Chains A and B, each alone.
Chain A
């Protein structure tokens, strides 16, 4: 029974963790090319879910999700072009406030467009009560879908950044924008692309988790806070570390419920993470030397 419970909590933690990790990756993609912390990242997740649900009444599921991802990418790019593209070397805090403002506007627009009610996509396979049993530990098929699709996202992102020309150009932008510009890389377009990419990933995750978590206009803010936490704790700029930090946060939350009242879940998880941050101010997986040289 003990082992069974242990793994059941672990599965719960992995489910939370995947969602946090995906939002954290979105933060990192934008941060790497622009140095901006984009607090509107959570809204992309919300938009992905909401648009997919709306389109699903007209289109088959896979097409609805694909269309939602494309639309959200367009919105992400549009946001970048309207608000961010033309700013010359903006201060960090100014950008934070602008992205918070964007996040509020997107959320309010969603409220007035879709109303306050909660929606969700149908389960991809099985239904709300079906579950696979692994020696007493039960896992909903949608959790497997989420884990699977998120792994695919992470792996293809890695391949994209390592082996494609575009990915390399984006990485060049990340490590030194001026030098990249000198090499003839259109840095501004790279920034737009990074917003679109982050939006697309967020939207895909939003659509995939929507059967589990449900979607409403207001879920973005909470996710952004969790994703920000994860991105920072992993060490800003390091997407793989964000995935690890996401799982750590999810599992901490889940196991804290085992021993303490659920009401304090956030408090416990955050306290432990802050303690870690105080010991390693550069993030759990960050490089101390690089941290010292970095300009915030």
Chain B
């Protein structure tokens, strides 16, 4: 199974990095690596949409925010005062609403993170479906405009609504206990577990996507990317394939949003901003549009360096410079960067 070779390398790298940090006593790197992993899920999902179905989305941060905010709102919503109402007590019996202790020792009755997670994904699927039908009929710059508009609307709602914390965002989001002993939380003692959890998710998503693009669906998508009309003439239901891909990539972004929100213990409106969407699109491009692995490597490196703050006040400038350099000299993405060919070209010019 050749297609899994890279997966095996990834697994080895994930484990290797953890062992390395443990040996060097630099385990704190895992914090940013975990955050990076969640962003990678959103970005790899976008690669499927952009690189394989050929549809640009300048509003993907919107889906990330829908996931994160839905989960944050539901898990921090205090229903204690409605404890006796029939709906809330029914929800409590079904374990959809559970009681927990907040930081200051008070009892809070709020949605179980699992329930919130499912609601968040469900909501994303519905919104992606409703938005997707009209939006995906558009092409080129018009599609870019429509998705940009979607992103703007989500940002504007998040920033304008009191319930979403307006400019402050939502903080004190509780841990998300997946299984007993395994919780998504930023707590230092769970750092290693969370690192493996996040990267296991990334690996899972990669396996899913690799299988998808090597299946009938993947061939159909590539046909759509190459020549939509021809694909349609050959009997590919282009509208349906595009829509399903859009929904899948939205769901991945949303899932990433939920997990990162629980890991960070909060979310702010910057996660929904247009600049964030643009950043995702840019990373997919420099990773090499149609290359899941290229995107994964680029998004890991760029996000990690940015989250570590290596570039100080030059963070955006470095990002912009990397974009330009890769797009100018290696438009097929970082993995296709061919130094020899470039040198040859330059030398030949001189002659």
Measuring CB to CB, which residues of chain A are less than 8 angstroms from any residue of chain B?
A: 37, 83, 87, 90-94, 96-98, 100-105, 107-109, 112, 221, 225, 228-229, 232-233, 236, 261, 263-267, 270-271, 273-274, 277-278, 281-283, 296
Contact = CB atoms under 8 A, between A and B. Distances in A.
14 contacts: A83-B324, A87-B328, A92-B141, A101-B321, A101-B323, A104-B319, A225-B148, A225-B152, A232-B141, A232-B144, A263-B161, A266-B153, A267-B160, A274-B146
Contacts of A277: 138, 142, 145-146
A229 B285 contact: no
Nearest to A86: B328
A283 B139 CA distance: 12
Contacts of B282: 97, 100-101
Interface stretch (B13-21, B65-73, B273-281, B292-300): B273-281
Contacts of A91: 331
B289 interface: yes
B255 to A, nearest CB: 25
A98 B324 contact: yes
B232 interface: no
B122 interface: no
B152 A267 contact: yes
Nearest to A84: B328
B327 A221 contact: no
A266 B328 contact: no
**Is the contact region of chain A dominated by helix, strand, or loop, or is it mixed?**
helix
B310 to A, nearest CB: 16
Interface string B136-161: 01111110111011101101110111
A233 B144 CA distance: 12
Nearest to A273: B149
Contacts, number: 116
Contact of B156 (A98, A100, A101, A264): A264
B184 to A, nearest CB: 31
Contacts of B157: 264, 267
Interface string B159-178: 11100000000000000000
Contact of B274 (A103, A225, A265): A225
Given A105-B321, A108-B314, A97 B156 contact: no
The 8 closest A-B pairs by CB, nearest first: A296-B140, A263-B160, A104-B320, A101-B323, A108-B317, A101-B324, A267-B156, A232-B145
A296 B138 CA distance: 11
Nearest to B134: A278
A58 B321 CA distance: 33
Contacts of B142: 232, 277, 281-283
B286 interface: yes
Contacts of B243: none
Nearest to B162: A263
Most A Cβ at <10 Å: residue of B50, B134, B150, B286: B134
Nearest to B274: A225
A277 B317 CA distance: 34
Contact of B320 (A105, A236, A265, A281): A105
Interface in B319-351: 319-321, 323-324, 327-328, 331
A70 B319 CA distance: 29
B316 interface: yes
Contacts of B152: 225, 266-267, 270
Given A101-B323, A274-B149, A90 B137 contact: no
